Amino acid sequence: MRIAIAIVAIFCARFLMAAWFYQGHDGDLAWQQWLGAYVLAHHQLPQHLGRETFTSPGAPWIPQEWAFSVAVAWFTLHGRFWMLASITVIAAALSLLLVAYRARRRGASAFATALVTGLTGFAMLQSFGVRAQVFGWLFLSVLLLLLDVENESLLLGLVAIALWANVHASALIAPFIVGAWAIGTWIEDRAWTVRVERNMIFTAGSAIAVCFTPLLWQLPLYAVHLQTSVIRSAIAEWQPPDLLFPSMIGGLVPLIAICCYFGIAAPRERWRDGMLFAAAALIGGLAVRHIPLAAMILAPMAAARLSSAIPMHARINTILREQFSEILIYACSAMVCGIIVLDLAHAPQTAGVSLPKNAIVSLSGLPGTHNLYCEDFAWCSLALEKANLRTFIDGRCDPFPARVWTDYLTVERTSPQWPAVLKRWKVDSVLVERDDSLAQALALRRDWHLFYQDRRYEVFLHQDVRTAQR
Amino acid sequence: MTRYFAPLIAFAVATAFVAHGQILPEFLLQLRDPNVLGGALFGWALKSFGYAFVLAFSGVLAGAAVLLAAWRTRLRGAPDVYAALAAVLAALCLTGSFGVSFAPVGWCCAALFALFLERGGRFGNGAALAVVALWALLQGGAPLAALVAALACAGAWIDARRIDDRVRESALVAAGTLVLGAVQLHAAPWHAYGAHVLYLDALRAGAQRDRLWNGGLSVNMLAFSALLVTAGWYGIRRRGRTADALTVLLLMLLSMLDARNLGYAGVLAAPIVADAVASYYVRERTLPHGPLTAYGAAFAACAFAFIATIISTEPKAVVWPQPPQQPAKLLVALAAHRGHHRVLCEQPRWCDGAAVVFHTIDPLVDDRAGLASSTALRAQSDAVATHGAWRSELAVARVDAIIAKSDANLVALLTQTGWRAVQSDGARVLLLTRRLQ
B244 plus B118 within the same structural domain: yes
B81 plus B227 within the same structural domain: yes
Q: What is the pLDDT of residue A420?
A: 94
- The Cα A65–Cα A165 span in angstroms is 9
B177 plus B224 within the same structural domain: yes
B307 plus B333 within the same structural domain: no
Query: Residue A259's closest chain B neighbor by CA?
Result: B232
Contact A300, A128 (CB under 8 A): no
Residue A385: exposure state from Cβ atoms within 10 A (0-12, 13-18, ≥19): middle
Answer whether residue B109 is part of any domain.
yes
Give bridge partners of residue A48 from the DSSP assignment: A60
**Band of residue A466 on the pLDDT scale cut at 50, 70, 90:** low
Residue B266: exposure state from Cβ atoms within 10 A (0-12, 13-18, ≥19): buried
Calculate how close chain B gets to A261, using CA atoms only, in Å.
Answer: 5
Query: Residue B411's closest chain A neighbor by CA?
Result: A416
Say whether A261 and B237 touch across the interface (CB within 8 A). Answer: yes
Alpha-helical (H) ranges within B76-120 are 80-95, 103-119
Paired sense of beta strands B420-424 and B428-432, if any? antiparallel
B332 plus B308 within the same structural domain: no
Answer whether residue B364 is part of any domain.
yes
pLDDT digits (tens, 9 = 90+) for A191-229: 999 999 999 999 999 999 999 999 888 888 888 888 778
| A 243-282 near B (Cβ less than 8 A) | 243-244, 253, 256-257, 259-267, 274, 277-278, 281-282
Say whether B280 and A266 touch across the interface (CB within 8 A). Answer: yes
DSSP state of A251: I
Of B203, B225, B415, the CB nearest to A416: B415
Question: Considering B313, B339, B369, which residue would you say is the last residue of a domain?
Answer: B313
Q: What is the dihedral of CA A236, A241, A247, A251, to 10 degrees?
A: 150
Q: What is the pLDDT of residue A295?
A: 96
Q: What is the pLDDT of residue A196?
A: 92
- The Cα B219–Cα A313 span in angstroms is 45
In 3D space, the residue among A76, A91, A69, A66 whose CA is nearest the CA of residue A16 turns out to be A91
B155 plus B46 within the same structural domain: yes
3-state DSSP assignment of residue B100 = strand
From chain A, pick out residues whose CB is under 8 angstroms from the CB of B225: 281-282, 285
In 3D space, the residue among B369, B362, B327 whose CA is nearest the CA of residue B342 turns out to be B362
Say whether A264 and B409 touch across the interface (CB within 8 A). Answer: no
Contact A375, A424 (CB under 8 A): no
Q: What is the pLDDT of residue B187?
A: 55
CA distance readout (Å), A319 to A2, A324, A327, B59, B97: 13, 9, 12, 57, 50
Of A259, A277, A416, the CB nearest to B412: A416
Question: Would you list the domain boundaries of chain A?
Answer: 2-346, 357-469
Architecture of domain A357-469: 3-Layer(aba) Sandwich (3.40)
From chain A, pick out residues whose CB is under 8 angstroms from the CB of B238: 263, 267
User: Region A321-340: what's the mean pLDDT?
Assistant: 84
3-state DSSP assignment of residue A109 = coil
From chain B, pick out residues whose CB is under 8 angstroms from the CB of A233: 215
3-state DSSP assignment of residue B327 = coil
- State the Rg of chain B over Cα: 23
3-state DSSP assignment of residue B89 = helix
The answer to whether residue A229 neighbours chain B at the CB level (below 8 Å) is no
- The Cα B242–Cα B151 span in angstroms is 9
3-state DSSP assignment of residue A328 = helix
Average pLDDT over chain A reads 90
Calculate how close chain A gets to B117, using CA atoms only, in Å.
Answer: 22
- The Cα B330–Cα B411 span in angstroms is 15
Residue A102: which H helix or E strand, with range? Answer: helix A81-105
Give bridge partners of residue B431 from the DSSP assignment: B402, B421
Answer whether residue B106 is part of any domain.
yes
- What burial letters (b/e) apply to B133-144, b meaning 16+ CB within 10 Å? bbbbbbbbbbbb
Calculate how close chain A gets to B227, using CA atoms only, in Å.
Answer: 10
pLDDT digits (tens, 9 = 90+) for A149-168: 888 788 889 999 999 999 99
Residue ranges in chain B modelled with pLDDT below 70: 1-2, 183-195, 434-437
Residue B350: exposure state from Cβ atoms within 10 A (0-12, 13-18, ≥19): buried
- The Cα A242–Cα B256 span in angstroms is 7
**Count of CB atoms situated within 10 Å of the CB of B176:** 19
B298 plus B376 within the same structural domain: no
Q: What is the pLDDT of residue A469?
A: 53
Q: Which residues of B touch A (CB under 8 A)?
A: 203, 211-215, 221, 224-225, 228-229, 231-238, 245, 248-249, 252-253, 256-257, 276-277, 280, 385-388, 406-413, 415-417
**Count of CB atoms situated within 10 Å of the CB of A343:** 11
- The Cα B336–Cα B330 span in angstroms is 10
Calculate how close chain A gets to B273, using CA atoms only, in Å.
Answer: 10
Q: Is A368 left (phi over 0), alpha (psi -120 to 50) or beta?
A: left
Calculate how close chain B gets to A266, using CA atoms only, in Å.
Answer: 5
- The Cα A49–Cα B369 span in angstroms is 48
- What is the percent of chain A where pLDDT is above 90? 63
Q: E strands within A364-447?
A: 370-374, 389-391, 429-433
Q: What is the pLDDT of residue A470?
A: 45
Question: Considering B279, B313, B347, which residue would you say is the last residue of a domain?
Answer: B313
DSSP string, A122-190: HHHHTT-SSSHHHHHHHHHHHHHHHHHH-SGGGGHHHHHHHHHHHH-GGGGHHHHHHHHHHHHHHHHHS
B309 plus B366 within the same structural domain: no
Say whether A285 and B212 touch across the interface (CB within 8 A). Answer: yes
User: Helices B165-183 and B121-138 sit at what angle, rounded to 10 degrees?
Assistant: 20
B279 plus B358 within the same structural domain: no
Of B221, B386, B412, the CB nearest to A285: B221
Say whether B235 and A267 touch across the interface (CB within 8 A). Answer: yes
- The Cα A206–Cα B280 span in angstroms is 34
Of B229, B234, B280, the CB nearest to A278: B229
pLDDT digits (tens, 9 = 90+) for A255-294: 999 999 998 887 677 889 999 999 999 898 888 999 999 9
**Phi, psi torsion values for A374, nearest 5 degrees:** -110, 130
From chain A, pick out residues whose CB is under 8 angstroms from the CB of B213: 240-242, 285-286
Query: Residue B409's closest chain A neighbor by CA?
Result: A414
For chain A, the farthest-separated pair of C-alpha atoms sits apart, in whole angstroms, at: 83
Domain count, chain B: 2
Calculate how close chain A gets to B225, using CA atoms only, in Å.
Answer: 7
**Count of CB atoms situated within 10 Å of the CB of B311:** 18
From chain A, pick out residues whose CB is under 8 angstroms from the CB of B276: 263
Q: What is the pLDDT of residue A238?
A: 87
B237 plus B209 within the same structural domain: yes
**Phi, psi torsion values for A459, nearest 5 degrees:** -120, 125
- The Cα A323–Cα A108 span in angstroms is 19
Cα separation of the two ends of chain A: 70
pLDDT digits (tens, 9 = 90+) for A105-151: 998 888 899 999 999 999 999 999 999 999 999 999 999 999 998 88
Q: Is the confidence at residue A368, as pLDDT, over 80?
A: yes
Q: How many CB pairs under 8 A join A and B?
A: 126
> Higher model confidence: residue A324 or residue A439?
A439
- Residue B132 has, within 13 A of its CA and on its CB side, a CA count of 28
B377 plus B305 within the same structural domain: no
In 3D space, the residue among A371, A385, A359, A364 whose CA is nearest the CA of residue A439 turns out to be A359
In 3D space, the residue among A242, A261, A162 whose CA is nearest the CA of residue A205 turns out to be A162
Answer whether residue B319 is part of any domain.
no
- The Cα B244–Cα B273 span in angstroms is 9
B395 plus B273 within the same structural domain: no
Which amino acid, one-letter code, is at A252?
L
Query: Residue B231's closest chain A neighbor by CA?
Result: A260
3-state DSSP assignment of residue A385 = coil
From chain B, pick out residues whose CB is under 8 angstroms from the CB of A188: none
Q: What is the pLDDT of residue B437?
A: 52
From chain B, pick out residues whose CB is under 8 angstroms from the CB of A409: none
Calculate how close chain A gets to B100, using CA atoms only, in Å.
Answer: 28
From chain B, pick out residues whose CB is under 8 angstroms from the CB of A416: 406-407, 411-412, 415
From chain B, pick out residues whose CB is under 8 angstroms from the CB of A267: 234-235, 238, 280
Answer whether residue B323 is part of any domain.
no
The answer to whether residue A176 neighbours chain B at the CB level (below 8 Å) is no
Which amino acid, one-letter code, is at A374?
C
Say whether B228 and A414 touch across the interface (CB within 8 A). Answer: no
Contact A27, A366 (CB under 8 A): no
Q: What is the pLDDT of residue A73?
A: 95
The answer to whether residue A318 neighbours chain B at the CB level (below 8 Å) is no
Of B225, B238, B387, the CB nearest to A263: B238
| A 386-425 near B (Cβ less than 8 A) | 410, 413-418
Question: What domain range is B350 assigned to?
Answer: 328-436
- The Cα A254–Cα B249 span in angstroms is 10
Dihedral sign of CA atoms A130, A135, A141, A144 in order: negative
Q: What is the pLDDT of residue B436?
A: 53
Q: Is the confidence at residue A464, as pLDDT, over 80?
A: no
- The Cα B46–Cα B317 span in angstroms is 8
Residue B34: exposure state from Cβ atoms within 10 A (0-12, 13-18, ≥19): exposed
